[in-house]
Chains A and B, each alone.
Chain A
Amino acid sequence: DIQMTQSPSSLSASVGDRVTITCRASQGITNSLGWYQMKPGKAPERLIYGSSTLENGVPSRFSGSGSGTEFTLTISSLQPEDFATYFCLQQHRYPHTFGQGTKLE
Chain B
Amino acid sequence: SAVISQKPSRDICQRGTSLTIQCQVDSQVTMMFWYRQQPGQSLTLIATANQGSEATYESGFVIDKFPISRPNLTFSTLTVSNMSPEDSSIYLCSVEVARQETQYFGPGTRLLVL
Whether A associates with B in a native complex is no
